[in-house]
Structure 1
Amino acid sequence: MRRASPKRYAVYSIVASILTLVLKFGAWGMTGSVGLLSDATESLVNLTAGVLALTAITIALRPADADHAYGHGKAEYFSSGIEGVLIIVAAIGIAYAAVMRFLSPQPLNNLGIGLLLALVSSLINFLTARIMLRAAKRFDSITLEADAKHLLTDVWTSVGLVAGLAVIIVMPEWKLLDPIIAIIMAVNIVFTGVNLLKRSVGGLMDDSLPDEELQLIAKAIHSYAGDESTFHGLRTRKSGPRRFIDFHLVVPGSMSVHDSHELCELIEELIHSKLPKAEVTIHVEPLESETSYDGHQVGGECAASLGGPCMGVERAKKKD
């Protein structure tokens, strides 16, 4: 049986975007609603983002090679960053169209059929997004997660749009509600774009793993190293679904090379069980050596900052 690939779910997003694009532009053409036009424009962005996501995931899945020893996982951050920019550009276009409609109000036609098409497209996006979110968790893919959340944003803005335009069916004199809804949607879309940009920049700048994952690593170390050992220089980052973890483990100098190696193997195995696709590098240092206490030079987290002893920091302070 062939193993499932995250690329399959990116294709789902592209297919869903094409379907909703046809439905929403059809709804706009029938009604003339600038709100529905804004919704259709966002679907165009969804399609572009889906293509980018498929491209990024394809690159990210390539194995490490001589030129990319740490793999190609960061390609996902480029995709989500570009998607964030596209979302913001789309929001500016929506706001411009809404302002023009304020200045030149126009009657809306065939709203009933148009809203029905918008609801069908929202249902397609909702089902696709739910499937993609499960896949994002399974494959630990920020690209699939970003694309899925983007689709969900489209769903909720579409539902709000339909609710607002339904009011116009009952009270046609409230036609200015159409551009007002479009502006609200544009603001909401901007927040989505900015959030994606922040996360993408964080990934490219090698932000540390979140606190809860750092705590898992610290517990894994303490569970085997015991009270006689400590660690410092814990540095972490994430590249696509892969986590890179390295730290200095300070152990009694009487411990043999064989035993320290076995200890590192146990710690690595436990970290792998908690954080899949983690690559762990451990530098062993003797407890009795002055040069072992270089945590202030290496940087990163130490045991003390994660709830345990950090003899390296204390010894370095006394030495200074």
Structure 2
Amino acid sequence: MIKVNREKSRWIIISFVVSVILLIVKFYSYYLTNSTAILTDALESIVNVVTASFASYSIYLSSIPKDDNHPYGHGKIEFFSAGIEGVLIMMAGLFIIYQAVYNFFFPHELEMLLEGMALIGFSGLANGFLGLKLKKEGKKLNSLTLVANGKHLITDTISSFVLIVGVAIIFFTGFYVLDSILSILFSFYIIYSGYFLVRKSVAGLMDETNPVAVSETVGVLNKERKDSWIDIHNMRVQQYGGDRHIDLHLTLPYYFDLREVHEEVEKVESALENEFSGVLEVFVHSDPCIPEKCCHYCQMKSCPVRQSEIRTKIHWTAGNMSKNQKHYHELADGQSS
């Protein structure tokens, strides 16, 4: 875990250094050209620098082990970090709209557009390479902060190259009012990308269901399913940064003794722990089966207390595993496999 956190910090530091360099390049490009459209790219680089700084702190904080005041650890700070990044992006977009509207009514001549395009192209390539790398490393290290930072840089790259096309049109046509129009269009795109990050941040802070995390958990449990696991219900999956917490109820034959129940619980825990990287906590509550209700879908072929034949096998899904009730109420039609 220490190695993982060091790797996260290393990539955030690289992101910060590159962002500072590209910030200087882009503002120099704006200084040369006096283009509001290029200013939009420069202002977004300020966001890159600020968020890289905050991301570094959030990764440090998320690496601190859980304590009495934070029983689930500090991983949620990564959601907060992504939210701050989104808000800053939206504020930059609103400022750009203001500047573009001003320049629309009070236009000014643009200069050295070719040199400006070349500098923006260089910064776009650098951002694109770094963004793809951060996104890849973020998924490998299970870091929302790195993934969010990478996606932001990739978005910045796309906007930079579309911006170059727009500035080229201005250069060849001499229609300078396009500079303001292009800036406003980019601003709406920037605001939308910022909103998307804020939306994801709020969802994480509010413990909104993560469909990907739930789907992965369901897949593992279906793959490792044992005949003695009559059903799994009331399952909750929470993702806090790189930490994952799974709670579930496991229905077992009522005649199992305490040792057998403990062994089955350990099998469930091991199946999940062996599949997922990072910090994983699994809490399993064991329930006894109800013979007159569970026998028809229980897969224990040698059950000594069976009261009815096996008539169906209920397929485990995110829907029936999240419900706070055993699966005996489900009918074979549309639920069995």
Instruction: Bin the TM-score by the shorter chain.
Output: 0.7 to 0.9
- Displacement of 1:63 in angstroms is 1.1
Pair 196,170 (structure 1): closer, same or farther in 2 beyond 3 Å = same
Quote the sequence identity (%).
32
Whether contact under 8 Å (2:11, 2:134) holds in the other structure is yes
User: 2:217 is matched by which residue type in structure 1?
Assistant: I
- Structure in which a larger fraction of residues adopt helix: 1
- Displacement of 1:65 in angstroms is 1.7
Q: How does 1:137-156 map to 2 (within 5 A)?
A: 137-156=139-158
User: 2:204 is matched by which residue type in structure 1?
Assistant: G
Pair 43,75 (structure 1): closer, same or farther in 2 beyond 3 Å = same
Pair 72,309 (structure 1): closer, same or farther in 2 beyond 3 Å = closer
Q: Tell whether 2:228 aligns with 1:207.
A: no
Which position in structure 1 is the counterpart of 2:31? 29
Whether contact under 8 Å (1:220, 1:270) holds in the other structure is yes
Whether contact under 8 Å (2:62, 2:75) holds in the other structure is yes
Pair 282,24 (structure 1): closer, same or farther in 2 beyond 3 Å = same
Q: How does 1:156-305 map to 2 (within 5 A)?
A: 156-172=158-174, 174-210=175-211, 212-222=212-222, 223-226=224-227, 229-277=230-278, 278-288=280-290, 303=316
**Counterparts of 2:320 and 2:46, CA distance in 1:** 48
**Counterparts of 2:138 and 2:221, CA distance in 1:** 28
Give unpaired runs (5+ residues) of structure 2. 295-314, 331-337
Pair 242,289 (structure 1): closer, same or farther in 2 beyond 3 Å = farther
Whether contact under 8 Å (1:136, 1:142) holds in the other structure is yes
Whether contact under 8 Å (2:96, 2:187) holds in the other structure is yes
User: 1:193 is matched by which residue type in structure 2?
Assistant: G
**Counterparts of 1:32 and 1:309, CA distance in 2:** 57
**Counterparts of 1:312 and 1:187, CA distance in 2:** 48
**Counterparts of 1:39 and 1:216, CA distance in 2:** 38
Q: Mean Cα displacement is larger for which, 217-226 or 100-109?
A: 217-226
- Displacement of 1:306 in angstroms is 4.4
- CA deviations 1:89-146 (Å, max 9, x no partner) are 0000011111111101111011111111111111221121122112101111111111
- Displacement of 1:199 in angstroms is 0.6
User: 2:285 is matched by which residue type in structure 1?
Assistant: H
Which position in structure 2 is the counterpart of 1:295? none
Compute the TM-score of the two structures, normalised by the length of structure 1.
Answer: 0.88
Q: Tell whether 2:131 aligns with 1:117.
A: no
Give unpaired runs (5+ residues) of structure 1. 293-301
- Displacement of 1:169 in angstroms is 1.8
User: 1:279 is matched by which residue type in structure 2?
Assistant: E
Partner SS state of residue 167, structure 1: helix
Whether contact under 8 Å (1:84, 1:192) holds in the other structure is yes
**Counterparts of 1:280 and 1:48, CA distance in 2:** 36
Which position in structure 2 is the counterpart of 1:74? 76
**Counterparts of 2:201 and 2:264, CA distance in 1:** 36
Whether contact under 8 Å (2:90, 2:191) holds in the other structure is yes
**Counterparts of 1:309 and 1:62, CA distance in 2:** 30
Which position in structure 2 is the counterpart of 1:298? none
Pair 62,114 (structure 1): closer, same or farther in 2 beyond 3 Å = same
**Counterparts of 2:47 and 2:227, CA distance in 1:** 53
Partner SS state of residue 72, structure 1: coil
Q: Tell whether 2:23 aligns with 1:9.
A: no
**Counterparts of 1:25 and 1:17, CA distance in 2:** 12
User: 2:250 is matched by which residue type in structure 1?
Assistant: L
- Displacement of 1:227 in angstroms is 6.5
Pair 42,218 (structure 1): closer, same or farther in 2 beyond 3 Å = closer
**Counterparts of 2:27 and 2:111, CA distance in 1:** 14
User: 2:74 is matched by which residue type in structure 1?
Assistant: H
**Counterparts of 1:228 and 1:237, CA distance in 2:** 22
Pair 170,219 (structure 1): closer, same or farther in 2 beyond 3 Å = closer
Partner SS state of residue 208, structure 2: coil
**Counterparts of 2:328 and 2:250, CA distance in 1:** 15
**Counterparts of 2:35 and 2:221, CA distance in 1:** 60
Provide the aligned length of Structure 1 versus Structure 2. Answer: 303
